């Protein structure tokens, strides 16, 4: 068994508002596996955690943990690093065995992975017309499912006041523009990024029903105290034809249980960057299936997370849809030399190469690297 020789953090500047953070694990045979640890605006913390853990990992076997190994709840930077290392170790295992990761994870449940297009970050023009243009562009390449985060600058502290009402109306106008551009048959999802109070979320659910929104995501901060309110919002949303979705920042499968038992969500969104890598994702999917809840992995960042999420989605229990960060930057494809499977309509083939199936372009990575 090969052993870990080096672990390197690689933060890359993608746009003025986006840095993607990767971890590269090289074994003593010279192979390099990669994982993604992108954590918005917390790249320095990811680097600090990696530096702290590195001495205990270098020299250890370059083998991933068992898929059923219990995963502790962690703070987000620790979870991001642990998840990225797990991704990289599975990449190395697949390279050694000459097989794609999804073939190592268990029996494939699907040959193509249905996607939805997150068009939020590529929408620089935040007027309704800018959102409509993004929806039309995604529609033109075959997507029929769209997600936006339209409530810019809203916070729970503002949500019930006059300023909040103005920001909410601006967000609803953006959703209306997407619905009109996407057409009556498209699925439209709305991400709230924990910006509401319960009362404001109730009012917005009622308004969004006019535009046949079928997915209302992360309306409230996700704490033990908000579990009853989330359960009530789920009932209200369901009565109006919507699903309630959330839990994208969960750092261990066990952290989902209290929300599942509380009846908070129709759709749970574990992220392979935080939930504990492949083992955490598969355990989360099994938990969701046991509670009759759909599992739709959160996946709004770079190409390594996308590739890892495709591998997991191939075998995931209770799977619904995979998020795809649509057209934020051409660097999404350039960084991996276009080797990720593209989408045909709104579904993706599975990766075919050994391990993750892609490697980061060395020259481009050097050009984009964010140095301290």
| Residues 118 and 256 both lie in one domain | yes
| Residues 133 and 231 both lie in one domain | yes
- pLDDT digits 0-9 by tens, 107-135: 999 999 999 999 999 999 999 999 999 99
| Residues 342 and 258 both lie in one domain | yes
For residues 4 and 63, give the distance between their C-alpha atoms in angstroms, rounded to a whole number: 9
Q: Is the pLDDT of residue 347 over 90?
A: yes
| Residues 155 and 173 both lie in one domain | yes
Residues of the domain holding 20: 4-103+359-368
In a domain, 354, yes or no: no
| Residues 32 and 50 both lie in one domain | yes
Contacts of 169 (CB under 8 A, 6+ apart): none
Tokens of 361: 């372009």
For residues 297 and 316, give the distance between their C-alpha atoms in angstroms, rounded to a whole number: 10
| Residues 51 and 75 both lie in one domain | yes
Q: Is the pLDDT of residue 267 over 90?
A: yes
- pLDDT digits 0-9 by tens, 298-330: 999 999 999 999 999 999 999 999 999 999 999
CATH number at residue 220: 3.20.20.120
In a domain, 75, yes or no: yes
| Residues 206 and 321 both lie in one domain | yes
Q: Are 268 and 293 in contact (CB under 8 A)?
A: yes
| Residues 166 and 314 both lie in one domain | yes
Q: Give the residue among 173, 186, 138, 157 at the shortest CA–CA distance from 328.
A: 138
pLDDT of residue 1: 82
| Residues 8 and 146 both lie in one domain | no
Q: Are 159 and 168 in contact (CB under 8 A)?
A: yes
Model confidence at 342, pLDDT cuts 50, 70, 90, reads confident
pLDDT of residue 17: 87
Q: Is the pLDDT of residue 372 over 80?
A: no
CA angle 85, 356, 189 (to 5 degrees): 90
Domain count, the chain: 2
Q: Is the pLDDT of residue 10 over 90?
A: yes
Question: What secondary structure, in 3-state letters, does 265-321 show?
Answer: CCEECCECCCCCHHHHHHHHHHHHHHCCCEECCECCCCHHHHHHHHHHHHHCCCECC
Q: Is the model's pTM score more than 0.85?
A: yes
Q: Is the pLDDT of residue 344 over 90?
A: no
Helices (H), ranges, 8-75: 43-57
């Amino acid at each position: 068994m090969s052993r870990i020789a080096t672990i390197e953090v690689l933060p890359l500047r993608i746009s003025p508002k986006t840095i993607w953070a990767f971890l590269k694990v090289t074994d003593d045979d010279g192979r390099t596996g990669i994982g993604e640890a992108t954590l918005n605006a917390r790249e320095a913390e990811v680097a600090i955690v990696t530096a702290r853990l590195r001495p205990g990992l270098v020299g250890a076997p370059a083998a991933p943990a068992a898929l059923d190994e219990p995963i502790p709840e962690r703070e987000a930077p620790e979870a991001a690093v642990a998840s990225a290392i797990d991704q990289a170790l599975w990449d190395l295992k697949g390279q050694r065995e000459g097989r794609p990761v999804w073939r190592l994870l268990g029996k494939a449940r699907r040959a193509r992975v249905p996607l939805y297009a997150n068009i939020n970050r590529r929408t620089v023009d935040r007027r309704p017309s800018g959102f409509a243009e993004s929806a039309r562009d995604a529609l033109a390449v075959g997507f029929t499912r769209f997600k936006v985060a339209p409530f810019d600058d809203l916070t729970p502290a503002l949500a019930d006041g006059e300023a909040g009402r103005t920001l909410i109306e601006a967000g609803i106008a953006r959703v209306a523009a997407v619905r009109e551009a996407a057409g009556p048959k498209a699925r439209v999802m709305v991400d709230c990024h924990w910006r509401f109070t319960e009362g404001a979320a109730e009012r917005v659910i009622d308004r969004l029903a006019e535009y046949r929104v079928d997915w209302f995501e992360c309306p409230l901060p996700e704490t033990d105290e908000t579990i009853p309110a989330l359960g009530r919002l789920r009932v209200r949303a369901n009565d109006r034809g919507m699903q309630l979705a959330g839990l994208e920042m969960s750092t261990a499968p066990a952290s989902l249980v209290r929300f599942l038992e509380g009846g908070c969500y129709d759709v749970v969104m574990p992220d392979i960057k935080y939930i504990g890598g492949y083992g955490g994702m598969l355990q989360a999917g099994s938990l969701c299936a046991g509670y009759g809840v759909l599992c739709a992995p959160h996946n709004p960042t770079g190409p390594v997370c996308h590739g890892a999420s495709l591998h997991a989605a191939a075998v995931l229990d209770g799977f619904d849809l995979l998020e795809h960060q649509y057209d934020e930057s051409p660097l999404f494809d350039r960084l991996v030399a276009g080797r990720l499977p593209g989408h045909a309509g709104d579904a993706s083939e599975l990766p075919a190469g050994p391990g993750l199936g892609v490697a980061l372009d060395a020259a481009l990575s050097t050009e984009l690297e964010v140095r301290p």
